[in-house]
Amino acid sequence: MPNFARPPPTTQYALLSFPAPHVLLVTLNRPRDLNCINSQGNAELHEVWEWMDDEPSLRVGILTGKGRAFCAGADLKEWNKSTQSNTTKSPMPASGFGGLSRRKGRKPVLSAINGLCFGGGAEMMINSDLVIAASRVSLGLPEVKRGVVALAGALPRLVRTVGKQRAMEMALTGRAYSAAQAEKWGLINEVVNVDDCVGAGGKLDDDAVSKKVVERAVQVASEIAGNSPDAVLVSREGIKLGWEGIGAEEGTVMLNETWVRRLYEGENIKEGLKAFVEKRKPDWKDSKL
């Protein structure tokens, strides 16, 4: 494990690993429950992403799932137990479902969608910065079929990604969609063909599928991590301002007033320009923004 300023959080329901320099991989680890996230799991993931944002050496995060599912949503058995007994459900962390659906963090997070992706799982995907998905993926927002609502931040953000009519279709019908359809609508950046990941009996091998999708996500994450960490953070903030409904002119002013002066005063802009002139690869420093 790399040397960190502070040790990573202890997690029961997720595995933490570091597949490439400056990259954190978080693997949901409840395969028998299709990686449904319970109250403790939400709290753990909130801590993980908070830790990643605070850890200077980490620049990009990846979320994936173990087994045949990415995440099938909330733990409905836990939810049903609290509803039937009229007990108070454990509060959702401020960052929302899985610590991602309403996350205010600064560093980019990619979703490596290896399998089933429903409910809260889809909400985390919608709030991810980039999405790499296996061709076998099935995803959707089936909450209306269970009498609940996608309240973890996906609905107002979904409409900005796919448009009103498509967002209405997803939210009101509860249908499942293929990776190809989601890519066509702009919910997925890249679909990885996993037809060659066949195991015994001619069925897709879950581990082989996950490995292939994660490998591609790590390649993309490494590409991002290889850029100026200061420039990545500020660029991401600029995109987020528009996604959250800020007008172009107002967003540009806010970005300049909040981030650009700090960017120009940092080490990495000087290093990037100097490396260009000297025709060499930049030696980036951990961001201090």
pLDDT tens-digit profile of 176-210?
A: 999 999 999 999 999 999 999 988 778 889 999 99
Fold of the domain spanning 14-225: 2-enoyl-CoA Hydratase; Chain A, domain 1 (3.90.226)
What are the pLDDT digits (tens) for 249-279? Answer: 887 888 888 888 888 888 988 889 899 899 9
Greater confidence (152 vs 46) lies with 46
Per-residue pLDDT at 89 exceeds 70 = no
For residue 264, what pLDDT is reported? 87
Residues 160 and 245: beta-carbon distance below 8 Å: yes
Query: Does the predicted TM-score (pTM) go above 0.85?
Result: yes
Domain with CATH 3.90.226.10 in the chain: 14-225
* pLDDT (0 to 100) of residue 85: 59
So what's the pLDDT on residue 87? 61
What pLDDT is recorded for position 181? 96
Q: What is the pLDDT confidence band of residue 79, given thresholds at 50, 70 and 90?
A: low
> What is the arrangement of strands in the sheet containing 69-71, beginning at the earlier edge strand?
69-71, 116-118, 138-140, 176-178
